[in-house]
Amino acid sequence: MQSDCSAGANPSARIEGETTYEPNLRHMQAALARIDARIAHEVRRWQRASQDPADAFRGLYVSHDQADALLARPFGASWGQTVALDPDQAQVFAAAKARADRESEAWAQLLHARNETPRLEQIARAFGLEPCQVDALLICLAPTLDLRYEKLYGYLQDDVTRKRPTLDLILNLLSEPGTSRLALQARFTDDAALFRHHLLERISDPNVGKQPALSQTLYLDETIVAWFLGVYQPPGELRAGASFSSPHENETDALLTAPVWAHLEPAWTDPALIIFAGTDSTMQHAAARRLAARAGQSLLRVDLEALATPELATLRAVRLALRDARLTGALPFFCGWDVCLNEGAPPQNLLAELLEFPGNVIVAGRAAWHPGGVARARAVRVIEFPLPAFSQRHALWTHFLGRAAPGDLTPLVSQFRLASGQIRDAVATAQDCAAQRGEPVREQDLFAAARVHSNLQLAGLARKITPRYDWRDLILPADQLDLLRELVATVRTRAVVLDEWQVGAKLVSSAGITALFAGPPGTGKTMAAEIIARELQFDLYKIDLSTIVSKYIGETEKNLERIFREAETSNAILFFDEADALFGKRSEVRDAHDRYANIEISYLLQRMEAYTGVTILATNLRANLDEAFTRRLQFAVDFPFPDEAERLRIWRALFPPAVPCDANLDLGLLAQRFKLAGGSIRNIIVSAAYLAAADGRQVTMRHLLHGTRRELQKMGRLLSDQDWSVG
């Protein structure tokens, strides 16, 4: 039963020349030898109490004699504690325990001389454990390292099926019967550190029902077992979202955290709860790594969003992570913290766990919050992590591209407001595309990759439009075309104006661009939005406001909020079509519906102004919009109904060159006779092409006139027979 004590009280002699020797394991083995002595002492007493280990059925039945013996047994005593060993035997076990204590102390001294702390001392200090609680851990640890303890525990518990210790066995091994046993039992309640920090777990027999604490089996968490052996592995419940690392300061993390580092360093003083808030999670992770490296700590990162399942309560996940942080001396870093917030704050029991942790704790999420409703002695720091400004984005693109940067990055950096991680991933994607071609990275690769790594979840809320047109396809008066080009130029240069020239400091509240396209159907509003998206190399998402507006109070605002929230990191142009469904002159408030209709309009305008991207509203009747609304928009472009000359240009611009046409087509006649907008002209050309393909495989005036008749019928317009004559 005794451990190998050949090293005696001078373990340093055994260490010399053995590079793989682990003094901590020897110290733990010596401590287990002390437990061995207690077990051997108890086994011998059981034997003297006539508990025959050779009895194959012992523990499976209770005889009459045993029942009488149980009645005569003192309160709280085991079979073995009903008898006493003779002095010589007692001295043998006392000597074995003393020998184990000396060896344990010798190994502890050696570790201290090396500026190391024995793991048993570490765990006792980290969780405030008393010596009896440390011994309880060792009793539970023993069968995970040596299966002989399973049979010994079955013997001492009078049940061969009980291979792991119960609290009753621990009390039998560590105390004598009477009040000392009761005092020791009070140290193993649910609120005791062993159970509150999940060092030990109670397991009840499912076939028995509710069991008293004394008969519940105690298990040592597998993470604690591995830690005793010198290895850390996250608990099985956390492995889907936990990682453990020993970060070192590096150039990338320093660059990522440059915008916030001045606020972080002062926060890193006394132990504090540090709250990271913002959308740039990559910058938050880099800040946590850099802080851990500065403090000389490992980093335990736990993604609570990835662990948010019905099987694992958030409180338990946080407790397990904080336990492991105490064990390893790591800095606990909880990301995805928003899943813990309820009405803007975490539950008080969760907050209490964070505040009780003895060191610094970092929680990171999108929303900023402030603790309340709980007394606290430690400081709370809130650090905002905004999306990188223009200069920071430029530095990140340059850093990740290195020598592969294809010339001037200013247009790319200015147009795409990406988070740090999106920039890193976009560069990797662009490099992959270039490598497939066997060429250097091109500007088009970077723009395409930037679009790919913008938020793609917007596709579930709006319809993505692939731009097909360029400036040559858009037929508008010169002033309107100039306005549209000015809009494009504003988007391209806004980073320089707002950030570098600091115009945004006082004069502009948002980097967003808002525009109104007003005009009759088919006059080119959607085409103009496509051209702008193509020119800026942005994705274009079309939202039909008629599907967003709800008759239920508050639902319209919720629908709009979902769209704008997902669009924040999409770098997309939001094109709200059918704005007439929501906009109208703000009427006098006659009833609740009028009041809420005006609230919906105001809410949309506020979200447009707060959105950092480009928002375009399209309406058929500008007269329906009141001046207070249009005054707050940056651009308002009127799309007039085309006159005859413009209609002719539209006919010519929209006719595909590859379509076979009769030489006698008179597009001028069509432009002069039929007052149609560009959308209708497009429909006519498509219809005529299908008719020609099914007929003579050449578009003639007859086909175009037939297509025009069908288009006018759809519009409810009827003309006389001479309108269809040619010549």
Q: Which pLDDT belongs to residue 496?
A: 82
| Three-state DSSP string of 352-363 | HHHHHCCCCEEE
CA torsion sign for 14, 15, 21, 22 is positive
Question: Beta strands of 183-335 (E only): which ranges?
Answer: 200-203, 217-220, 242-245, 272-278, 299-303, 331-335
Q: Report the pLDDT averaged over residues 343-368.
A: 92
DSSP assignment string, 388-456: P-HHHHHHHHHHHHGGG--S--HHHHHH----HHHHHHHHHHHHHHHHHHTS---HHHHHHHHHHTS--
Return the closest-CA partner of residue 620 out of 525, 544, 518, 543: 518
Q: Which helix (H) or strand (E) holds 617?
A: strand 614-619
Determine the residue type at 290: R
Q: Predicted confidence band at 141 (pLDDT cuts at 50, 70, 90)?
A: very high
Average pLDDT over residues 353-361: 93
Pairing of strands 539-544, 463-465: antiparallel
Give the orientation angle of helix 420-437 with respect to helix 443-452, to 10 degrees: 130
Q: Judge contact between 464 and 667, C-beta under 8 A.
A: no
From residue 704, how far is each of 35, 673, 714 by CA, in Å?
100, 13, 15
Q: pLDDT tens across 259-302, in order?
A: 999 888 776 767 899 999 998 999 999 999 999 999 999 999 99
Place of tokens 């009040």: 179
**pLDDT tens digits for range 583-634:** 554 444 444 444 445 666 778 888 888 888 899 999 887 766 667 677 788 9
Cα-flanking dihedrals φ and ψ of residue 117, to 5°? Answer: -115, 130
Q: Using only C-alpha atoms, what is the Rg of the chain? A: 39
For CATH 1.10.8.60, the residue range(s) in the chain are: 390-453, 644-724
Minimum mean pLDDT range among 54-58, 264-268, 547-551, 650-654: 54-58
Strand-strand pairing, 614-619 and 572-577: parallel
Confidence of residue 726 (pLDDT cuts 50, 70, 90): low
Distance CA 107, CA 479 (A): 88
User: Picking from 46-55, 303-312, 424-433, which range would have the lowest pLDDT averaged per residue?
Assistant: 46-55
Q: Are 130 and 187 in contact (CB under 8 A)?
A: yes
Q: Using one digit for the tens of pLDDT, what is the confidence trace for 667-703? A: 999 999 899 999 999 999 999 999 999 987 899 999 9
Helices 592-610 & 555-567, crossing angle to 10 degrees? Answer: 10
User: Which tokens in the block code for residue 203?
Assistant: 């397991």
Q: What is the DSSP string of 527-545?
A: HHHHHHHHHHT-EEEEEEH
Q: What is the domain class of 464-638 according to CATH?
A: alpha beta
664 or 595, greater pLDDT: 664
Share of the chain above pLDDT 70, in %: 85
Single out the residue of 520, 528, 539 nearest to residue 463, CA to CA: 539
* Residue 273 in tokens: 């709860």
| Most confident of the ranges 16-25, 188-197, 505-514, 548-557 | 188-197
Q: In this predicted model, which residue has the larger pLDDT, 64 or 361?
A: 361
Query: Which residue type, as a one-letter code, is found at position 115?
Result: N
Report the largest interatomic distance among the alpha carbons of the chain, rounded to a whole angstrom: 133
**Region 545-567: what's the mean pLDDT?**
79
Report helix, strand or coil for 5: coil
Pick the CATH number of 644-724 from 1.10.8.60, 3.30.70.1060, 2.70.98.10, 1.20.58.1610: 1.10.8.60
- Provide φ and ψ at 331, rounded to 5°: -85, 115
The predicted pLDDT at position 456 comes to 65
Q: What is the pLDDT of residue 565?
A: 82
Q: Where in the chain is the domain with CATH 3.40.50.300?
A: 464-638
Who's near 4: CB < 8 A, 6+ residues apart? 29
Mean pLDDT of 570-589: 69
CB contact set of 206 (below 8 Å; sequence gap of 6+)? none
Across the chain, how many H-helices and E-strands are there?
Answer: 31, 14
Query: CA dihedral in degrees (62, 68, 71, 77; nearest 10)?
Result: -70
Under 8 Å between Cβ of 692 and 698: yes
Residue 304 in this model has a pLDDT that exceeds 90: yes
**Could you give the C-alpha distances from 347 to 163, 273, 354, 362, 727, in angstroms and in order?**
39, 15, 11, 17, 82
Distances (CA, A) of 516 to 145, 365, 519: 73, 35, 10
301 three-class SS: strand
Beta strands in 216-340 (DSSP E): 217-220, 242-245, 272-278, 299-303, 331-335
Residue 209 pLDDT class (50, 70, 90 cuts)? low
Question: If pLDDT is split at 50, 70 and 90, which confidence band does 378 have?
Answer: confident
**Per-residue pLDDT tens for 3-40?**
333 334 444 333 333 334 588 999 999 999 999 998 98
Share of the chain above pLDDT 90, in %: 52
Closest CA to 143 of 34, 220, 78, 56: 220
Which of 338-342, 579-583, 702-706 shows the lowest mean pLDDT across its residues? 579-583
The DSSP element (H or E) to which 514 belongs, if any, is: strand 513-518
Mean local confidence (pLDDT), 213-231: 92
Class of domain 242-385: alpha beta
pLDDT surpasses 70 at 422: yes
pLDDT mean across residues, the chain: 85
Evaluate whether the domain defined by 390-453 bears CATH number 1.10.8.60. Answer: yes
